[in-house]
Amino acid sequence: MPKLAFIGSGRMAGAMVQGLLRSGACAPADITVIGGNDSTAVDLSKATGVRVASTPAELLAGADAIVLACKPQQFADLDKSYATLAQGKLVLSILAGTRLATIGTFFASARNVARAMPNTPGAVGQGISARCSATPLAAADAKIVDAILSGLGPVLEFPESMFDAVTAVSGSGPGFFFEYVAAYEQASVALGFSPEQAKLLVRQTFSGSLALLAATGETPENLRIQVTSPGGTTKAGLDAMEAGKFRDIVASALIAAKQRGEELGKK
């Protein structure tokens, strides 16, 4: 595996590093990270053994590929020396909403530029990532990108035109799911359960339902029908969800997230 340089050392960078080490694609000595004005890079180094750089030159010395993992709003203020130091290297960006053209303009001397949209369940190896690239990836570069991402979970390739939709569905999706879990637990407490009882009831119900969905290969609709008796309790709850336009609310959340990604891409 080539040497990797991470610009950024936050949660997703940490998840990617952990995935690379967990899969055996990299050893700690193969990875160098640089952070901002906080302790994240040092903390990641203590947890994994990867190296910490203090300057762009130190970070990119000997690196074959760069993972751009800072916050999207930090990209505009990125040290301009990175542009020159990236000559001949592969750049993989995980910045939401930041287009390949924008990244490619900054890293004009890179051998190729790719984008990925991972999600936070990748921290436990249960995520999913999408990737695209400015020009078709050479076989060796595709291997590098997939090695970086596969430690997080499955990897799918999409055209960049689909990335705002990917960001809405899988990138932002965990946030929407966690909000639903929080709402469900809050409503369960209102029914008389203690917070700990609600936590166990709700989370096991959700994780078990997802496991059942995966094990049976059934559609969600078929499994819903199987548990819904005419005139029963599930039917009463589903009727309330329909009256509240639950599916419309879900669709509006995805549309809003996609539109925000489009707005970010224009900045």
56 falls in which pLDDT band (50, 70, 90)? very high
Report percent pLDDT > 90 for the chain.
85
The pLDDT assigned to 250 comes to 97
pTM for the structure as a whole = 0.88
Tokens standing for 145?
């990108």
Residue 96: predicted pLDDT: 85
CATH 1.10.3730.10 in the chain is located at 173-265
| Amino acid 76: pLDDT | 86
Domain 173-265 falls under CATH 3.30.750.24? no
Q: Residue 267: is its pLDDT beyond 80?
A: no
Give the tens place of pLDDT for each residue, 186-214.
Answer: 999 999 999 999 999 999 999 999 999 99
Question: What fold characterizes domain 4-159?
Answer: Rossmann fold (3.40.50)
Supply the pLDDT for residue 265: 80
Q: Where in the chain is the domain with CATH 3.40.50.720?
A: 4-159
Smallest CA-to-CA distance from 89 within 68, 113, 70, 69 is with 113
Lowest pLDDT segment from 17-21, 66-70, 174-178, 185-189: 17-21
Specify the 3-state DSSP secondary structure of 129.
strand
Q: pLDDT value at position 217? A: 95
Eight-class DSSP state of 128:
-
- Measured CA to CA in angstroms, residue 112 lies from 77, 86, 244 at distances of 22, 10, 48
Query: What pLDDT score does 266 carry?
Result: 79
| pLDDT for position 264 | 82
Q: From residue 185, how far is each of 190, 192, 204 by CA, in Å?
A: 9, 11, 12
The pLDDT mean for the chain works out to: 94
In angstroms, the CA 51 to CA 121 distance is 25
CA separation, residue 214 to residues 34, 180, 207, 209, 257 (Å):
39, 20, 11, 9, 27
**How far apart (Å, rounded) are the C-alpha atoms in residues 105 and 182?**
42
Burial class (CB in 10 A: 0-12, 13-18, 19+), 47: exposed
Give the pLDDT score at 186: 98
Q: Among residues of the chain, what percentage have pLDDT more than 70? A: 100
Q: CA–CA separation, 84 vs 109, rounded Å?
A: 7
